[in-house]
Structure 1
Amino acid sequence: MNAARGFPAFPPQRAGARFATSWWGRAWIQAMEDTSLDHVLLRKGRAYAKTGQVGPITVSPGRIAAVTESEYDTVVRVEQLTDAAWERFLDQVAAKAGHIAALLDGDMPHDLVEAAEGASVPLLPAVGDLEPECSCPDWGHPCKHAAALCYQVSWLLDADPFVLLLMRGRGERELVEALQRRDAPAPAPDVAGPVGVRAAEAFAMGVPPLPEPPPYDVVFTPPALEPAPEVDVAALGILAASAADRARELLLRGRLPELTEHQDHVRLAAGHDLPGERARGLDAAVRAWRFGGADGLEALETPWTPPRQDLARAQSLLAAGWEGEHPPAPETWRNRWTFGSLQLRYGRDGRWYPFTERDGQWWPAGPPERDPATLTGQAAL
């Protein structure tokens, strides 16, 4: 049974104090902010968090809670992992000796989170995973009190990633003990018994997790092939390198996206510098793929109509992030907003892709951002 952990109230912070500095703490804030459609309440929540209007925080499995403004009971609920998901997570931690040491040292390794996601164990919350509740009369989702609580929790996550694991259902001591039991020596085999494992027991074990992918600095080098009649040896080398990249992605994410023939052609050209005729006419597509993969290519080639709430949230972010009195009014058409020589295109992945005009054609201009104000050159609040 996991006991709740209590944390004293944060005092008022100095001007310019930042919230999460760790990548997992920023991911926590991103999940909360992406759930909100009211940027004003988020801004008030940041102010409440920095001015010390949140009381002591209690973290327990599936729940964080505090009293805000000395009178409102504020709770944010987080979905707990199942026992089967915890077993898969422990498999990933035990697979690499440095993982548990990193967690105990206050670090959440990228490769651990990615491996856990590949095993269908979501450690970090996504949009909609946080459920705020508050006794205040505000109908915001989240209200300013719940937002303030989430912002302060990002400081707790910075200091101790086990806080996130406790929210997901298990505390530090329980996890360490479970890992120690896994490291215990196995009993000696019964030499007199039957050799092997019964089929029923083997099937009951389920599918084991995939091994960790190789490090990103390990580059696959295709074997040297001797020239042969009617065989394009260079093309075979490119295909072998492509297969190695796809295998890495499968190990990392547990699945491969389905690509059309055109998308796969662009992927190959973007990743392997296809020579001659293979890359001709794909300059813009290759550039889009390098910035955003299949989503970036779709932003280049396919207009679509986003949900109203997505565009309303983008308008709010743009207004809040503009330093002048009034943000510019873009020319809008479906998912495309044009600001003179700059065009922003909203992708189905929830990010805005920048394009600049060149010789009468729109060209991908950089990596996407969730906040359109960032791409217009204004400092987002």
Structure 2
Amino acid sequence: MNAVRGFPAFPSQRAGARFATSWWGRAWIQAIEDTSLDQTLLRKGRTYAKSGQVGPITVSPGRIAAVTESEYDTVVHVEQLTAPEWERFLDQVAAKAGHIAALLDGDMPHDLVEDAEDAGVPLLPAVGDLEPECSCPDWGHPCKHAAALCYQASWLLDADPFVLLLMRGRGEQELIEALQGRDVPAPDLAADAGMPAVVAFGLGVPPLPGPPPFDVAFAPLGLEPAPGVDVAALEVLAASAADRARELLLTGGLAVLTEYQDRVRLAAAHDLDLGLEAAVQAWRYGGADGLEALESAWTPPKQDLARARTLLRAGWEGEHPPEVEAWRNRWTIGARQLRYGRDGRWYPFTDRDGQWWPAGPPERDPSALVG
């Protein structure tokens, strides 16, 4: 029973839109980037993907396809699992009741993929599992059209891991029907009654559970007015403390901020009107590094600037590279200025009433910010 799923074309994305955010979506992108022989074509593919130059996408066993730039037939072939591999994969899914629930809830558990790999089932694609094909005259592997299709496919994978399983050869309904014919393990009731200590110690140390989800929005306190208490300010501070605590849990550390940086951070996070519009915009694009790019000039190492010039020339699609008016870490190119941050990324700025204004998220390749 083969399934075919169609997805509408993605519209043009806002500046700074990210591709895969799920770990399995990022593994998909890693596979296509490891397969690529030309980083310039990959960069163009990312631009095509974000600018909406890929038509509706069709996913079927062993392939994803779309018409790109309204004229090129673009296909990426995906290595399908064999019948024995599917049997072993279904055994792994059925071994834990939580696996089925996770898949239906749009999640791909790490331990499921690891157990499948232990059983000889390569669920996530690797180098050699993806084969691009396009009717365009480009000889790239992949060409920019196939790369764009793969980058957009990562958004589909983020939303539904069954898309990956369909690429590997079987659709959602077929898998669910196959799983219904397998026994789901029952809880081990004997464990509730206890066991000898020597047996328990012999089992070893079980793995720690995964980290808790940190994507839950902070719930406002909803404080009642009280004499002498600025309730609105207190709620902002509580939300800020929750944000910082979340950052600490995710990263294991917090950057030390000056009083001014922390004021900009608060204004950016909570839409406070403190007369810091440009600083707030810079913070939203790049945090403390973005704020420094707005307000400070410095002299980068010569090798960093030489590398950036090479990238700018290589990524320019026109006949002649743009003229650059360079001063320290600031390159002015027409109506746009790029500022090299101490974090190794280029920050874009545009001229607004004689003031350079933050214009988007940073890139390590300056050519991605001009065109």
Q: TM-score of the superposition, structure 2-length normalised?
A: 0.51
Superposition deviation, residue 340 in structure 1: 3.6
Check conservation: 1:29, 1:154, Cα contact below 8 A.
Answer: no
1:261 to 247, 257, 260: 257
Helix, strand or coil at the partner of 1:261: coil
Helix, strand or coil at the partner of 1:356: strand
Segments of structure 2 that go 5 or more residues without pairing to the other structure are: 1-8, 49-67, 82-91, 111-125, 129-138
Count of residues in Structure 1 that have an aligned counterpart in Structure 2: 284
Write out per-residue CA displacement over residues 13-49 of structure 1, whole angstroms, 9 at most, x where no aligned residue: xxxx99xx994479728972998776379889x9xxx
> 1:90-169 to 2 correspondence within 5 Å?
94=98, 97=101, 99-101=102-104, 112=107, 146-148=141-143, 151=147, 154=150
1:354 to 338, 344, 348: 348
In structure 1, C-alpha distance between the alignment counterparts of 2:104 and 2:212, rounded to whole Å: 20
Pairing of 1:276-291 with structure 2 (within 5 A): 279-280=274-275, 282-291=276-285
Taking every aligned residue pair, what percent have the same amino acid on both sides? 40
Partner of 2:313: 315
Partner of residue 343 from structure 1, selected from 309, 313, 337: 337
Q: Residue 329 of structure 1 aligns with which residue?
A: 323
**Preserved contact between residue 242 and residue 268 of structure 1 (Cα < 8 Å):** yes
1:186-335 aligned at under 5 Å gives the runs: 186-189=187-190, 193=194, 204-215=205-216, 218=217, 220-227=219-226, 233-249=231-247, 254-255=250-251, 258-262=254-258, 263-274=261-272, 279-280=274-275, 282-302=276-296, 303=298, 304-305=300-301, 306=304, 308-317=306-315, 319-320=316-317, 322=318, 325-335=319-329
Q: Contact conserved, 1:220 with 1:244, CA < 8 A, in 2? A: no
The 8 Å contact of residues 335 and 347 in structure 1, kept in 2 or not, is answered as yes
Q: Alpha carbons of 1:294 and 1:201: their partners in 2 closer, same or farther (altered >3 Å)?
A: farther
Alignment CA distance shift 1:256-1:348 (3 Å)? farther
Aligned to 1:32: 33
CA drift at 1:186: 1.3
Task: State whether residues 157 and 164 of structure 1, in contact with CA within 8 Å, keep that contact through their aligned partners in structure 2.
Answer: no
1:57 Cα deviation (Å)? 6.0
Q: What SS class does the counterpart of residue 189 from structure 2 fall into?
A: coil
What is the alpha-carbon distance in structure 1 between the residues aligned to residue 357 and residue 204 of structure 2?
A: 52
- d(CA) in 2 for partners of 1:326 and 1:347? 26
Superposed CA RMSD in Å reads 6.0
How far 1:224 sits from its partner (Å)?
Answer: 0.8
Deviation of the 1:329 alpha carbon: 0.8
- Shift of the alpha carbon at 1:241? 0.9
Deviation at 1:316, TM superposition (A): 1.6
For residues 222 and 196 of structure 2, the distance between their equivalents in structure 1, rounded to whole angstroms, comes to 40
Task: Return the offset for 1:155.
Answer: 8.8
Q: Deviations over 1:95-146 (max 9, x none)?
A: 994x4126xxxxxx5xx58x97xxxxxxxxxxxxx879xxxxxxxxxxx664
Partners in 1 of 2:76 and 2:307 — Cα distance? 33
- Residues 184, 213 of structure 1: CA spacing in aligned structure 2 closer, same or farther, 3 A cutoff? farther
Opposite residue 104 of structure 2, the aligned amino acid is: A
CA contact (8 A) 2:36 2:142 kept: no
The residue aligned with 1:76 is none
* CA displacement, residues 284-322 of structure 1 (integer Å, 9 cap, x when unaligned): 2211112333342243245444364454223322x12x4
1:356 to 1:55, Cα distance in 2 relative to 1, 3 A: closer
Assess, with a 3 A threshold, how the Cα gap between structure 1 residues 359 and 156 changes in structure 2: closer, same or farther: closer
User: Offset of 1:331 from its aligned partner?
Assistant: 1.2
Normalized against structure 1, the TM-score is what?
0.50
* Contact 1:343/1:355 (8 A) holds in 2: yes
The 1:365–1:242 alpha-carbon spacing in structure 2 relative to 1, beyond 3 Å, is: same
1:270 Cα offset (Å) = 0.9
